[in-house]
Amino acid sequence: MHLDIYAYPPYNLLAYQKVGFDLGIIVRSKIMTPLPKRKISRTRRDQRRAHDSLKVKNLVQCSNCGEMRLPHHACPTCGFYKGREVIAIKED
Ligand SMILES: [Zn+2]
């Protein structure tokens, strides 16, 4: 039986294995990209995503304009920090 192991792209990977062909050479020669060996289970996937939730930012009120801003940051609305203007805000 003829096994066309040099067919491109390598659809029949079983044919490679049957003749003891080094499948690693397919990846090394850039014919095929590396793939995960097996499916990641729902449990494993969800365990990985357990820390992915977004957290609510801690906000404080700007003493100059009253808008909410990040603590220890210049106010993006008025450009004030610690009672003085540190960044010029363009008005349009
Ligand atoms: Zn402000």
Show the tokens assigned to 11.
């659809």
DSSP 49: G
> How far separated are the first and last CA of the chain, in Å rounded?
78
Q: Which domain holds residue 29?
A: 1-35
Domain annotation covers residue 17? yes
Domain annotation covers residue 50? no
Q: How far is the CA of 87 from the centre of ligand 1 (A)?
A: 11
Q: How many domains does the chain have?
A: 2
Domain annotation covers residue 47? no
Same domain? For 31 and 62 the reply is no
pLDDT digits (tens, 9 = 90+) for 10-19: 566 777 777 7
Domain annotation covers residue 13? yes
pTM for the full model? 0.45
User: CB neighbours of 9 closer than 8 A, spacing ≥ 6?
Assistant: 31, 32
The per-residue pLDDT of the chain, averaged, comes to: 84
Q: How far is the CA of 56 from the centre of ligand 1 (A)?
A: 20
